[in-house]
Structure 1
């Protein structure tokens, strides 16, 4: 395959070129060697995914479900491709009439509800730049995103509208749900009958901005274009093994990049159904019943969910699942084996970042090596670079070749040129993750080169948590590290040095943990605390590597420091 000259491509030409790339990967879904050798990214000068691809699917398969959401009480909401396309046109026109212009930034803070997908498609049509955000954000987080994101419009649940008072007064405000004074009512978009904008977006126009945790004082702002995610997630589609007509369930929360990966672009690139199950608290038995009842064919879940699922009797459930996927960190071999025994399906791992799409993975039909993330996916050329010598070998930092840069790679970190230059140095994009490659080309993740860690599949920046801790008057200094946990993989633990005049005690530990509960989003909650001195380098930098090793040793041996406390020691406030 080779990309066509896009200098004068019509919508039909663009659709045809995109389809050719999609169909090539679908046709070679179990022929990795051919797919990797012969695939080339389609490259366009102008591209609008809603117009150039989704609308084509809406014409070809109007009655196929594009989205199905099952609620905990059994209520089912579903939209066909034709219905989704039509409503998104109305949304685009309605928002434009309200004052939204191409290039304006829209903060979208919604759960898994039908309007989320309608609004995202509408924003793409209108040429707006989306900033998806989790509903778990604190008020301070929201204010930061509105300010640093230069937000022009906010879309949120009407029940959350009060949180935006004083921080979004200058924005177009859209409330999903009941009417809110001063806000547009989203339901009114359904009756819009005015002109529909069809913005002819350039391929390199901005489409998405994602705030992602880092080790600096503020989350990084990852910028993606009209093609980097919509076209780039062809690699994700290939890794998952999605085919037209699939029913794909991905366990992920809106606002995180993985939600766009596997709940928007990858399945709709394939012409599949995006399937969601909304629950208040995860219940393995209920999830298994949903998988069986609604004929889910492809299933992606983080390791935490897989570890919970195997606690149930998998063999008692007759599923139609063809592909099982996991991402986030390597799964335990026993989990993979239990699923294989019960369903005769092997869970396949993969790797990617907010800054990219799926880069490395085990696609369908390929030999797997337990613990390995797989091999580079079609369209990606991966090098492992020694951080100390810059030599390319079989061990080192996972890096993407930039000659040329693959379509899915982010444009860069918005308003952070130095940071962008740093990760794009030397002709490679440097992921910050370290891995090893074996003689067969399989890549195994080793660890993060900085201190960001995952807890319950959310990325946690120690700096953000430490910044809150030191706001407490009794805390002089703090360091946060992952504490191993059998279900969540890890939970945040804080090593705390007390300010003068304060002594370690159970009461003070409870007070500090409560303080953190009040000032941090739930997924960032500090769950363990220890009063101790911090190991430091000669220049005074905290050696978190020592603290991580210390904590891992304590958990393994079942011992604790003299002044160690767990949130379980305290009643919920």
Structure 2
């Protein structure tokens, strides 16, 4: 039987592929990549789900998505099958009145329907608002109202949450829920290839930030800023066609789109997902080896748990190891390298952008550094007080160079938008240092850096030393108000298994800090504490700072803490 030859690729697809292939070819040649890479011109009309995904997916049976459950059951879908299923979703939603520009609150877990729905909604030209299923009715109400949701897609198990969320929005459920349209109806659509016309500047995604210090912001991205911008993320990951990529990330947050959607499919790699109810390092490592995972990205919290597990079983097929979300402590990198002979490459970006700074495969790494700016990303450091370029300052993007991978802006918040784009720069709110070779080392959030005895203290620097002690699983350093020194560094500690939260452990940790830190950076107080985190897993140091300030203002000491002056050998 004769086969139908695929259509000639679209000009936008050709330009997009050429840009990707340039970055793949120049991996390990970062200076050349920066000099030669140019963002692709995808034209006035562009829809990534159609002009890229469908173009590589049609007639392609290679596995695009591979999901493994905790009980061992698994689902595999090929690229072509996902293209067809997302067509069905797009046609079906269109029949329900969903169209270009409509915002769709998408609240699903790591399940097939999530990837189908994202592709289908993108094809429609509608806008996805990714949302974690961990939210309750109050947060969902805020998202529906401020996000102006026209549609909600959720699992039937979460439908009850929306009984307390008013609004005239279309309800779609995966599974049976009374009064909701069953998602499975989409599978009845036959023989339709969905095509739409979207402008490159059309909105595509709206993210609610995780809110480490304030009410979540609404971050808008276009058909270009994420789909084209994530060429930088693909370059950093180092994935290639035929790879199997695993990223530990929860749906609803930008990192999931980074590494569980755009970057691997830009690389034409397989997305591998392992679902579990409770993290089990040994089980995860078994799946990585069994599935032949080649590129693996995990947040620092997961890496810290992995180094406490048995890594002696080997790295399997792993070629690239990555970390993002928060800075990765050098001690973690060192332990993994000793066990597997691979270096974890750190990277930096935000919900508002794609990968801005990273360590690239084949390039020299410097301990503690998160790497160098990505090709096409105009990263600079400026002094927060003067706004002038500096070797230590806030990480910014130069708006005069029109950063392709930058958000449209913060929706409905002109004040924050003006602050973020002041002075001709996009301001990240993160402070870093740059060395003579252009390597950038993270110092901390502008809100987290503090002064003690008139010395500037970077919490991350101190935390990286603390985590080298075997008792410390995680640490968060904040200023504890002090009448003599203005503030002293205090560490909130999450203990590793087998250690007791007692004076002996506290003394051992304080002694370790004393021996490995300069006197003016000495950690003088510790407290064993369950670290407060955002729903996306980032430590909320603001809560810890407030706790310290409230105790100081109230004239009371925190009975749970240990101070260095309690131990005779550590006084002074």
Sort the TM-score into its range (normalised by shorter chain).
0.7 to 0.9
Quote the residue 2:160 is aligned against.
Answer: 162
- Post-superposition offset of 1:166: 4.2
Quote the residue 1:56 is aligned against.
Answer: 55
Quote the residue 1:492 is aligned against.
Answer: none
Pick from 174, 177, 190: which aligns with 1:176?
174
SS at match of 1:403: helix
SS at match of 1:316: coil
RMSD over aligned Cα atoms: 3.3
CA 1:556–1:434 in 2, change beyond 3 Å: closer, same or farther? farther
5+ unaligned residues in a row in structure 2: which ranges? 1-7, 450-458, 464-472, 479-489, 498-528, 568-572
Pick from 485, 488, 492: which aligns with 2:494?
485
SS at match of 2:219: strand
Question: Are the aligned partners of 1:206 and 1:223 in contact in 2 as well (CA < 8 Å)?
Answer: yes
Quote the residue 1:90 is aligned against.
Answer: 88
CA 1:534–1:15 in 2, change beyond 3 Å: closer, same or farther? same
Pick from 60, 80, 94: which aligns with 2:78?
80
1:219 is aligned to 2:216: yes
Quote the residue 1:270 is aligned against.
Answer: 267
Quote the residue 2:308 is aligned against.
Answer: 311
Question: Are the aligned partners of 1:205 and 1:226 in contact in 2 as well (CA < 8 Å)?
Answer: yes
C-alpha distance in 1, partners of 2:28/2:237?
Answer: 11
Question: For 1:437-476, what aligned pairs fall within 5 Å after superposition?
Answer: 437-450=434-447
Question: Are the aligned partners of 2:289 and 2:315 in contact in 1 as well (CA < 8 Å)?
Answer: yes
SS at match of 2:400: coil
Question: Are the aligned partners of 1:72 and 1:277 in contact in 2 as well (CA < 8 Å)?
Answer: yes
Report which stretch shifted further, 42-51 or 138-147. Answer: 42-51
Quote the residue 1:383 is aligned against.
Answer: 380
Question: For 1:139-538, what aligned pairs fall within 5 Å after superposition?
Answer: 139-168=137-166, 170-177=168-175, 179-193=176-190, 197-214=194-211, 218-450=215-447, 483-486=492-495, 533=550
Question: Are the aligned partners of 1:382 and 1:400 in contact in 2 as well (CA < 8 Å)?
Answer: yes
Quote the residue 1:39 is aligned against.
Answer: 37
Question: Are the aligned partners of 2:58 and 2:83 in contact in 1 as well (CA < 8 Å)?
Answer: no
Quote the residue 1:108 is aligned against.
Answer: 106
C-alpha distance in 2, partners of 1:232/1:390?
Answer: 26
Question: For 1:536-547, what aligned pairs fall within 5 Å after superposition?
Answer: none
C-alpha distance in 1, partners of 2:37/2:189?
Answer: 42
Question: Are the aligned partners of 1:108 and 1:154 in contact in 2 as well (CA < 8 Å)?
Answer: yes
SS at match of 1:314: coil
Question: Are the aligned partners of 2:230 and 2:405 in contact in 1 as well (CA < 8 Å)?
Answer: yes
Question: Are the aligned partners of 1:385 and 1:399 in contact in 2 as well (CA < 8 Å)?
Answer: yes
Deviations 1:465-521 (A, max 9, x none): xxxxxxxxxxxxxxxx99343569xxxxxxxxxxxxxxxxxxxxxxxx9xxx9xx96
Quote the residue 1:5 is aligned against.
Answer: none
CA 1:184–1:363 in 2, change beyond 3 Å: closer, same or farther? same
CA 1:523–1:368 in 2, change beyond 3 Å: closer, same or farther? closer
- Post-superposition offset of 1:251: 0.2
- Post-superposition offset of 1:317: 3.2
C-alpha distance in 2, partners of 1:348/1:286?
Answer: 23
Quote the residue 1:475 is aligned against.
Answer: none
- Post-superposition offset of 1:428: 1.1
> TM-score when scaled to structure 2?
0.79
CA 1:212–1:532 in 2, change beyond 3 Å: closer, same or farther? closer
SS at match of 1:436: strand
C-alpha distance in 1, partners of 2:496/2:26?
Answer: 36
- Post-superposition offset of 1:308: 1.0
Deviations 1:447-468 (A, max 9, x none): 101359999x99x9x9xxxxxx
C-alpha distance in 1, partners of 2:366/2:378?
Answer: 20
Deviations 1:219-243 (A, max 9, x none): 1100000111111100000011111
Question: Are the aligned partners of 1:323 and 1:347 in contact in 2 as well (CA < 8 Å)?
Answer: yes
Quote the residue 2:122 is aligned against.
Answer: 124
- Post-superposition offset of 1:555: 6.5
- Post-superposition offset of 1:342: 1.7
C-alpha distance in 2, partners of 1:169/1:282?
Answer: 37
Deviations 1:124-161 (A, max 9, x none): 00011000011111210000000000000001110111
- Post-superposition offset of 1:426: 1.6
Question: Are the aligned partners of 1:330 and 1:372 in contact in 2 as well (CA < 8 Å)?
Answer: no
SS at match of 1:83: helix
> TM-score when scaled to structure 1?
0.79
SS at match of 1:444: strand
Quote the residue 1:500 is aligned against.
Answer: none
Report which stretch shifted further, 302-311 or 192-201. Answer: 192-201
Q: How many residues align?
A: 489
